Amino acid sequence: MTSTWHVLGSGSLGGLWAARLAAAGLPVELLLRDRQRLAEYRAAGGLTFERDGHCRQLALPAQPLDEPAPIRRLLLASKAYDAAAAARALRPRLAPGAEVILLQNGLGSQDAVAALLPQARCIFASSTEGAFRRRDFHVVFAGSGHTWLGTAPPTPPPGWLGELAQAGIPASWSDDILARLWRKLALNCAINPLTVLHDCRNGGLQAHAVEVAALCRELVELLTACGQAAATDGLQTEVERVIAATAANYSSMYQDVAAGRRTEIAYLLGHACREAQRRGLELPRLEDLARRLRAHLAARGLPQD
Ligand code: NAP
């Protein structure tokens, strides 16, 4: 018998997973902050899932975090800066050997959650799927992609991977999930902060190719020092390819800053700088980038972490 998919967060990725799992007939339970949020969810008539312009209203079961029922499988789909607090709140509910899938971008939050939940099997995820919230409890599937899942150190894949296939969630088990997360972090560090500082779409960075190349060189140095040499393969070429392929897009960090939302900088560029310092590496371009980005955020009244 399958375990219930407890999904924390009815936001973009949480909603995207919950909607597809439920549509495939799998048991799903949304975990919302508190009774007030639950009342708002019910008043909205459940979760609206929009795909290719079609909206579907899904009255998925939901409960507040402090419900007593045990949890065996948890999909933690918060932003990186909310993950540890959410894990702490759910700790008393996790059954021994529970599995916790961490959907956060960047690095740092996964280790913080794993340290809080020694009784759980923490599975890290790296996703290229795209979704956004049109409004509360209304999620739009914005871009197909793939999700890699794995543990560090590697362990055999769980039996429920087949449920993801059944739900049409493209996913694979990875024996080197840290390399995937580091690679994505490096791509993010080379592109997103610069789009904010130069106030441009991704394609605007083609006019700053020298700056991008210098950042890539430092990122290669950092990843190599972190034991992630394999994740540096062709990094600059891929950064340039992504910039060209997504030239018309605004990066996620750009969109967050433009909308006055908190960024995940602490788990992306901030994590890179912390790891460099910890290893005594001097990476002046990355440090300068972080300094400029923090000043930019501070000037707009946004958190610098
Ligand atoms: P999001 O739309 O902001 O959703 C986050 C959800 O977490 C919200 O529903 C929020 O609840 C909930 N949450 C936070 N703390 C909570 C708590 N203590 N209890 C209950 N719910 C809590 O974020 P997202 O875009 O899905 O991003 C999640 C992660 O996936 C991020 O690390 C992001 O970088 C990564 N990612 C996102 C995408 C994408 O396309 N969106 C793609 C790849 C990776 P409220 O609704 O109550 O605020």
pLDDT value for 1 = 65
Q: Could you report the per-residue pLDDT of 77-90, keeping only the tens digit for each?
A: 999 999 999 999 99
Q: What mean pLDDT, rounded, does the chain reach?
A: 97
pLDDT at 34: 97
Q: Same CATH topology for 5-175 and 179-299?
A: no
Q: According to the model, what pLDDT value does residue 305 have?
A: 87
Q: In this structure, which residue's CA is closest to atom 24 in ligand 1?
A: 12
Residue nearest (by alpha carbon) to ligand 1 atom 20? 33
Count of H helices and E strands in the chain? 11, 12
Looking from the CA of residue 82, the nearest atom of ligand 1 is 15
Query: Would you place residue 176 in the very low, low, confident or very high pLDDT band (cuts 50, 70, 90)?
Result: very high
State what percent of residues in the chain have pLDDT above 70.
100
Query: What does pTM read for this prediction?
Result: 0.97
Q: Residues with beta carbon inside 6 Å of ligand 1? A: 8-14, 31-33, 37, 65, 77-80, 82, 85-86, 89, 103-105, 127, 129-133, 264
Which class is domain 179-299?
Answer: mainly alpha
Instruction: Compute φ and ψ for 273, nearest 5 degrees.
Output: -65, -40
Tell me which CATH code domain 5-175 carries. 3.40.50.720
Check residue 234 and give its pLDDT. 98
Instruction: Give the mutation target among 6, 10, 13, 107 for probing the ligand 1 site: most ligand atoms within 8 A of CB.
Output: 13
pLDDT at 180: 98
Report how far residue 151's alpha carbon sits from residue 176's, in angstroms, rounded to the nearest whole number: 8
What are the structural domain ranges in the chain? 5-175, 179-299
| DSSP assigned state of 55 | E
Has 79 been annotated as catalytic?
no
Backbone φ/ψ region at 83: left (φ over 0), alpha (ψ -120 to 50), beta = alpha
Q: Is residue 35's pLDDT more than 70?
A: yes
Read off the pLDDT band of 9 (50, 70, 90): confident
Note the pLDDT tens digit of each residue in 228-253: 999 999 999 999 999 999 999 999 99
DSSP 8-state code for residue 282: -
